[in-house]
């Protein structure tokens, strides 16, 4: 997906993260109206200058004192992040977390086009979960290859995560979203985002401790 | 909680995040043995120099060519992050995500001491989930105050999240871990870590798009 990708290919991961956050300040139905850099700055907790720099990197989207056209800004951010289209994805490991993700606002409707669910538990295979039939683990590689699936979401226990990642990478997956609490090793051509919920807890403990010390 | 907090009170959030990641490279039973900065660097994906700087900020923990004593390093990181003790916490919103969290490795055993679960759904109130009885939403403020609960985990739908945060902050909570897909407003004295799963997806889309462009 390179269409429409602006000069922002040099965008840092941190800047991309801030763009995601700005996006959350723009109502989905904001087809009219403007939004100011100070509102975005206040909402996300960064400086006004930072917001203006981040948005300037997307092209000419606003002028001083007037603010940004909300719909134009939203489209520019979505294009820059590469979420102006659907991404095909499989989800591996159909437990509570997977069920929560499949129901999560925006997970299916906004970006992920989940094309298959897999589990190694024979009692789960064949079940229908949020409209998808759970397929056996053994079919994973063949399906991912046949459907040219782009992204994989890993919600298996930690001890199974690396082997699942290996199968998905071997089958040509381009990116992984890993929820298993461990660091995965993947080939350099595969993008990896890990969400380790205990890391989030540690960050909170650190912040609370710092705030009080 | 200020006991044992080292010079690291000036530690940045980014550095604290890296410390969390280093911690994941040290086996829990690593009571003997050393670990080198290059192993940590390779595992986490940062430079060797970055690892040495981060660990130097914790005090004198290693010497060149020998590596760090694994157990000492682990203890120093845990102390710095403030996870060398339990934190009392309540969880609000008992859906699939909450159930996944309560079963998540490390969530209860390593840091959170969950003292109560709350839900506004009368059909859930009274149920036992992972050993805890679900209490009615109305008891939340009184319980948090009475038990001097430190942290709150918010796993309610987006539209309910701000009102839950308001109640918890009003009852004296010190930090919130928010899973609802929205930006919460909290008083400046309350620490907030938000885990917006659709932001994680957007980061992955961005990385995959960048890798291919």
Instruction: Judge whether residue A160 has pLDDT over 90.
Output: yes
* Tens digit of each residue's pLDDT (9 = 90 or more) over B100-117: 888 876 666 667 889 999
Is residue B6's pLDDT more than 80?
no
Given a cut of 90, whether residue B26 has pLDDT beyond it is: no
Which residues contact residue A41 at a Cβ distance below 8 angstroms, ignoring those fewer than 6 apart?
A47, A48, A50, A51
Residue among A3, A23, A196, A198 with most chain B CBs within 10 A, to mutate? A198
For residue B126, pLDDT over 80 is answered with yes
Q: Which residues of B touch A112 (CB under 8 A)?
A: 201
Q: Is A200 left (phi over 0), alpha (psi -120 to 50) or beta?
A: alpha
Stretch(es) of chain B classified as CATH 1.10.10.10: 7-81
pLDDT computed for residue B43 by the predictor: 79
Q: Identify the closest residue of chain A to B9 by CA–CA distance.
A: A210
Instruction: Give how far A164 is from chain B: nearest CA, Å.
Output: 18
Domain with CATH 1.10.10.10 in chain A: 7-80
Q: Is A87 helix (H, G, I), strand (E, B) or coil?
A: strand
- Inspect the interface and report whether the beta carbons of A80 and B206 lie closer than 8 Å: yes
Residues 6 or more apart whose Cβ sits within 8 Å of residue A57: A7, A8, A11, A15
- CATH class name, domain A87-199: alpha beta
- Nearest Cα of chain A lies from the Cα of B107 at a distance, in angstroms, of 6
Q: What is the rounded CA–CA span in Å between residue B210 and residue A66?
A: 31
Could you report the per-residue pLDDT of B52-75, keeping only the tens digit for each? Answer: 999 998 887 776 677 898 889 999
- A109 chain-B contacts, CB cut-off 8 A: none
Task: Give A11 or B38, the one with higher predicted confidence.
Answer: B38
Question: Of B44, B100, B193, which is closest to A96 when you measure between CB atoms?
Answer: B100
**B5 has a pLDDT exceeding 60:** no
Confidence at B1, pLDDT banded by 50, 70, 90: very low
Nearest CA in chain A to B94: A100
Give backbone dihedrals phi and psi of A177, rounded to 5 degrees, phi first: -110, 110
Label residue B140 by pLDDT band (50, 70, 90).
very high
Instruction: Give the residue from A204, A208, A211 with the most B CB atoms within 10 Å of its CB, the best one to mutate.
Output: A204
Highest mean pLDDT: which of A19-28, B93-102, B145-154?
A: B145-154
**What pLDDT, on the 0 to 100 scale, is given for residue A8?**
43
A106: which chain B residues are within 8 Å (Cβ-Cβ)? 181, 198, 201
- Indicate whether A116 pLDDT > 90: yes
Quick one: average pLDDT of A50-73? Answer: 85
Least Cα separation, residue A64 to chain B (angstroms): 26
Percent of chain A at pLDDT above 90?
Answer: 43
Calculate helix-pair angle for B70-81, B13-23, nearest 10 degrees: 140
CA dist B142 and B213 (Å) reads: 54
- Check residues B93 and B113 and name the one with the higher pLDDT: B93
**pLDDT surpasses 80 at B125:** yes
Quote the Cα angle for B67-B70-B71, to 5°.
145
Q: Which of A51-65, A160-174, B187-201 has the highest mean pLDDT?
A: A160-174
Hey, what are A163's tokens?
């082997």
* pLDDT digit string, tens, across residues A9-49: 577 878 888 898 888 888 765 566 888 888 888 877 788 99
pLDDT tier at A7 (50, 70, 90 boundaries)? very low
C-alpha–C-alpha distance, residues A36 and A69, integer Å: 9
B60 token code pair: 């004198």
A7-80 has which fold? Arc Repressor Mutant, subunit A (1.10.10)
Give contacts of B95 with chain A, Cβ < 8 Å.
100
| Domain with residues B7-81, CATH architecture | Orthogonal Bundle (1.10)
Model pLDDT, residue B118: 98
The per-residue pLDDT for B16 is 87
Three-state SS at B68:
strand
- Angle at the Cα of B52 (from B79 to B58), degrees rounded to 5? 25
Dihedral sign for Cα B86, B88, B93, B95, please: positive
User: Cβ of A34: how many Cβ atoms within 10 Å?
Assistant: 15
Q: Give B63→chain A minimum CA distance, Å.
A: 26
The predicted pLDDT at position A5 comes to 36
Which comes out higher in pLDDT, residue A65 or A160? A160
Residue B3, pLDDT above cutoff 70 = no
Nearest residue in A to B201, CA atom:
A177
Spell out which residues of chain B touch residue A26, defining contact as CB-CB under 8 Å.
none
Question: CB distance B204–A197 less than 8 Å?
Answer: no
- CA gap B207, B45 in Å, rounded: 15
pLDDT > 70: what percent of chain B? 89
Q: Rounded distance, CA A161 to CA B200, Å?
A: 18
| Cβ-defined contact of B81 to A202 (cutoff 8 Å) | yes
User: Which residue spans of chain A are classified as CATH 3.40.50.720?
Assistant: 87-199
Q: What average pLDDT is seen over chain A? A: 85
Instruction: Tell whether the model's pLDDT for residue B7 goes beyond 50.
Output: no
Using one digit for the tens of pLDDT, what is the confidence trace for B170-205?
999 999 999 988 788 999 999 998 887 778 888 888
Closest B-chain CA to A2: B213
- Residue A155 sits at φ, ψ, to 5 deg, of -130, 35
For strands A87-92 and A151-154, give the pairing. parallel
Which residue matches tokens 């102006």?
Answer: A84
Average pLDDT, chain B: 85
pLDDT digits (tens, 9 = 90+) for A180-197: 887 889 999 999 988 877
Asked if residue A3 has pLDDT above 70, the reply is no
Q: How confident is the model at residue A144 (pLDDT cuts 50, 70, 90)?
A: very high
């Amino acid at each position: 997906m390179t269409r429409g990708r602006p000069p922002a290919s040099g965008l840092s991961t941190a800047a991309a993260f801030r763009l995601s956050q700005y996006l959350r300040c723009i109502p989905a139905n904001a087809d009219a109206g403007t939004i100011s850099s100070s509102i975005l700055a206040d909402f996300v907790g960064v400086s006004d200058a930072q917001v203006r720099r981040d948005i300037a990197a997307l092209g000419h989207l606003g002028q001083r004192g007037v603010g940004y056209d909300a719909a134009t800004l939203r489209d520019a951010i979505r294009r820059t992040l590469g979420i102006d289209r659907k991404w095909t994805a499989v989800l591996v490991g159909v437990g509570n977390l997977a069920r929560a993700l499949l129901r999560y606002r925006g997970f299916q409707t906004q970006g992920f086009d989940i094309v298959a669910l897999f589990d190694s538990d024979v009692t789960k295979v064949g079940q229908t979960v949020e409209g998808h039939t759970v397929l056996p683990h053994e079919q994973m590689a063949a399906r991912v290859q046949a459907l040219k699936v782009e992204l994989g979401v890993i919600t298996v226990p930690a001890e199974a995560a690396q082997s699942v990642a290996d199968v998905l990478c071997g089958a040509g997956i381009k990116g992984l979203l890993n929820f298993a609490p461990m660091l995965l090793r993947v080939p350099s051509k595969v993008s990896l985002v890990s969400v380790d919920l205990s890391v989030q807890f540690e960050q909170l403990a650190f912040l609370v401790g710092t705030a009080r010390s």
